[in-house]
């Protein structure tokens, strides 16, 4: 029996050893197979390394999707531009239609930019608003009367002398032409008399047209007088009720629009005041330089010509040319050809100083406009509305520039590119409004980032994911990204509403939520690029 038991035990041991040996052999075979499989995969990866390298950044989509997005963007942009041009054309048509009523308002506003500092000074010293406006206007009228009284007698006195000198100058020119043998053509007295008679005949034949022009000039003068009276009345009311205008705008528009209007209109007003004052400085320097030059040469009516130069300086480009030409003609008639050339040189030098140094420097600083914009606006305004258009072109361009810059500031503020402290404001209302909108826009930007399908996800410090597999489509990718974001947003809201946890549970929950948030960010990154960290996941 013992031998039988021993035999059985030996059999069991033998079977056990055999089993262990089989297991070891199987494990060895499995290990060898796994190693062999890994080597085959490695060899395959090495063999296909060139293909993978060529598709390292491959995220190809159907070109029809890209072309369709381009067509949509181009169509929307074109429609917007057409709408903008239609609006500009309609506005220009209305301005031209009602120009007779708009011009006095614009001129009154320009006069107010000069008189407003005086009115504000008087109002601060205790005078009523109406009395302050009236006194400032009377002061301006007194200055105007003073200059007119200074130049009018000079014009009356010298006009007769200039007429006689002009006749003598023509006779001298005729004699000079007759005595010049070196000219390629001969001129005698009969030819000169013939030219004079032809000129007289031309004037007589066009007497009707000249008379019509005179009546037209009288009508124009009457219209100018009416416009002058309207400008005076409007100037008084603007100066008197100016401080009430912005509060009225806020109450009329209401809410946030009124606050924006207050800031924008204040910026426009400051820009217009800066332009008028800068132009006054430039015109004054021109008048002083040209007046001193004319006085040094001995040209009559030097003070009168200086005043005309100052007044003409408010019409860019054209006014300076007309005033300079008038000075040269008077020098030619009164003194002679040499003195006229000297005056011409003085005028050209002063105009070069104005055009290349003073105007670009002062006006560009006052209005923050490039000199090219100033030149183009004057050219366009003069071509459309004549001298008045040339005078008002630069303020109009400055107004448009102020509106554009304000819209750009608000756009950058809402986009999060700048803060309210980075911007400059003309009023405290505008500053407070920008700070409030900065806080509101932060929440709006978060919502846009969560809901906007085409917004790239935040990667933070996540490592770069493997290259996406080719063949996926952009639409399917971003649809899955949007669905995943909506799911994650719902999960975040559910987690935020849980408030019945203990302090220790909250700590653990915060860690778990942070872990889940990191995992969700990683998952968004993977979905956005069609991959997972474990390998290339096909999003198609």
User: 444: Cβ–Cβ under 8 A, 6 or more apart, which residues?
Assistant: 414
| Highest mean pLDDT pick, 14-23, 41-50, 152-161, 455-464 | 152-161
Q: Using CA atoms, how far apart are residues 270 and 430, in angstroms rounded to an integer? A: 14
Contacts of 472 (CB under 8 A, 6+ apart): 59, 60, 61, 530, 538, 539, 540
Q: What confidence category does residue 83 fall into, taking pLDDT thresholds of 50, 70 and 90?
A: very high
Mean pLDDT for 459-474 is 44
Helix, coil or strand: residue 535: strand
- The percent of residues above 70 in pLDDT, for the chain, comes to 57
Work out the pLDDT band at 3, boundaries 50, 70, 90: very low
Q: Record the tokens describing residue 279, joined without a space.
A: 């132009």
- The arithmetic mean of pLDDT across residues 213-222, rounded, is 57
- Pair of tokens at residue 263: 């800031």
Residues 126-179: pLDDT tens digits? Answer: 888 888 888 998 998 898 888 888 877 777 777 666 666 666 666 666 666 666
Q: Are 458 and 446 in contact (CB under 8 A)?
A: no
What tokens were used for 150? 């200074």
* Rounded Cα–Cα distance for residues 88 and 103 (Å): 19
DSSP state of 144: H
Is 220 or 465 the better-scoring residue by pLDDT? 220
| Phi, psi torsion values for 535, nearest 5 degrees | 160, 180
**Burial degree of 423 (CB within 10 A; 0-12, 13-18, 19+):** middle
Tokens of residue 81, six digits: 């531009």
Q: Which residue has the tokens 């990866």?
A: 45
What is the per-residue pLDDT across 4-37, written as a single tens digit (0 to 9) for each?
444 544 444 444 444 444 445 444 554 555 566 5
The pair of three-digit structure tokens given for residue 450, joined into one six-digit string? 């969560």
Output the six-digit token pair for 55: 């598709």
Quick one: three-class SS letters along 246-273? HHHHHHHHCHHHHHHHHHHHHHHHHHHH
Confidence of residue 519 (pLDDT cuts 50, 70, 90): very low
Which residues, in sequence order, are bridge partners of residue 535? 532
Q: How many C-alpha atoms does 95 have within 13 Å on its Cβ side?
A: 14
Q: Which of 237, 282, 249 is nearest to 111 (CA)?
A: 237
In which band, very low, low, confident or very high, does the pLDDT at 59 lie, cut at 50, 70 and 90?
Answer: low
* pLDDT tens profile 265-288: 888 888 888 888 888 888 888 889
Ordered DSSP codes for 399-463: HHHHHHHHHHHHHHHHHTSS-GGGS--SSHHHHHHHHHHHHHHHHHHHHHHHH-TTSPPP-TTPP
Predicted confidence at residue 55, as pLDDT, reads 45
Tokens of 188: 């005698």
How does DSSP classify residue 426? S
Tell me the three state secondary structure of residue 532.
Answer: strand
CB 316 within 8 A of CB 378: yes
HSE, CB side, 13 Å, CA atoms: give it for residue 500: 1
Query: Cα–Cα distances in Å, from 273 out to 114, 278, 281, 340, 363?
Result: 7, 8, 12, 37, 11
Q: What is the Cα–Cα distance from 516 to 509, expressed in whole angstroms?
A: 10
Residue 303, judged by CB atoms within 10 A of its CB (0-12, 13-18, 19+), counts as middle
Task: Please state, in angstroms and rounded to a whole number, the distance separating the CA atoms of residues 116 and 108.
Answer: 11
Q: Residue 78 — pLDDT band, cuts 50, 70, 90?
A: very high
Orientation angle between helical segments 207-253 and 99-124, nearest 10 degrees: 60
CA–CA gap between residue 137 and residue 68 (Å, rounded) = 64
Q: What does the pLDDT read at residue 146?
A: 86
State phi, psi for 153 to the nearest 5 degrees. -60, -35
CA-nearest of 290, 267, 424, 278 to 361 is: 278
């Amino acid at each position: 029996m013992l031998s039988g038991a021993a035999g059985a035990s030996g059999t069991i041991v033998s079977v056990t050893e055999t089993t262990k040996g089989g297991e070891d052999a199987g494990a060895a075979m499995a290990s060898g197979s796994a190693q062999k499989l890994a080597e085959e995969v490695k060899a395959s990866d090495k063999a296909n390394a060139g293909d993978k390298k060529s598709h390292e950044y491959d995220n190809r989509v159907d070109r029809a999707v890209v072309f369709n997005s381009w067509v949509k963007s181009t169509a929307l942009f074109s429609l917007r531009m057409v709408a903008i041009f239609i609006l500009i054309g309609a506005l220009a048509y209305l301005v031209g239609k009602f120009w007779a009523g708009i011009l006095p308002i614009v001129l009154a506003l320009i006069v107010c930019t000069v008189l407003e500092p005086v009115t504000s000074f008087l109002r601060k010293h205790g005078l009523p608003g109406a009395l302050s406006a009236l006194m400032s206007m009377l002061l301006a009228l007194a200055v105007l009367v003073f200059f007119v009284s200074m130049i009018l007698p000079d014009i009356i006195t010298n006009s007769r002398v200039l007429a006689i000198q002009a006749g003598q100058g023509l006779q001298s020119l005729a004699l000079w032409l007759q005595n010049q043998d070196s000219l390629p053509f001969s001129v005698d007295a009969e030819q000169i008399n013939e030219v004079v008679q032809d000129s007289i005949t031309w004037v007589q034949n066009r007497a009707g047209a000249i008379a019509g022009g005179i009546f037209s000039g009288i009508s124009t003068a009457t219209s100018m007088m009416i416009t002058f009276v309207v400008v005076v009345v409007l100037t008084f009311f603007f100066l008197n009720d100016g401080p009430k205008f912005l509060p009225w705008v806020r109450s009329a528009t209401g809410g946030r629009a009124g606050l924006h209007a207050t800031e924008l209109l204040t910026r426009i007003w400051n820009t217009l005041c800066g332009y008028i004052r800068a132009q006054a400085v430039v015109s004054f320097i021109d008048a002083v330089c040209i007046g001193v030059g004319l006085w040094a040469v001995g040209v009559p009516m030097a003070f009168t010509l200086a005043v005309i130069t100052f007044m003409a300086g408010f019409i860019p480009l054209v006014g300076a040319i007309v005033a300079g030409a008038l000075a040269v003609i008077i020098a030619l008639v009164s003194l002679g050809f040499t003195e006229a050339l000297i005056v011409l040189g003085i005028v050209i030098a002063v105009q070069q100083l104005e055009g290349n140094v003073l105007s670009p420097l002062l006006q560009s600083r006052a209005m923050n406009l490039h000199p090219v914009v100033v030149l183009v606006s004057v050219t366009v305004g003069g071509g459309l509305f004549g001298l008045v258009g040339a005078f008002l072109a630069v303020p109009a361009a400055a107004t448009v520039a102020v509106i554009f810059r304000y819209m750009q500031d608000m756009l950058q503020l809402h986009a999060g590119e700048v803060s309210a402290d980075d911007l400059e404001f003309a009023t405290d209302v505008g500053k407070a409004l920008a700070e409030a909108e900065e806080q509101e826009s932060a929440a709006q930007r978060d919502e846009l980032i969560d809901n906007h399908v085409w917004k790239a996800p935040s990667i933070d410090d996540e490592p770069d994911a493997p290259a996406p597999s080719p063949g996926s489509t952009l639409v399917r990718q971003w649809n899955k990204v949007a669905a995943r974001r909506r799911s994650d947003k719902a999960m975040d809201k559910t987690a935020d509403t849980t408030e019945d946890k203990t302090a220790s549970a909250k700590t653990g929950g915060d860690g778990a939520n942070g872990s889940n948030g990191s995992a969700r960010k990683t998952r968004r990154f993977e979905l956005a690029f069609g991959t997972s960290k474990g390998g290339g996941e096909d999003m198609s």
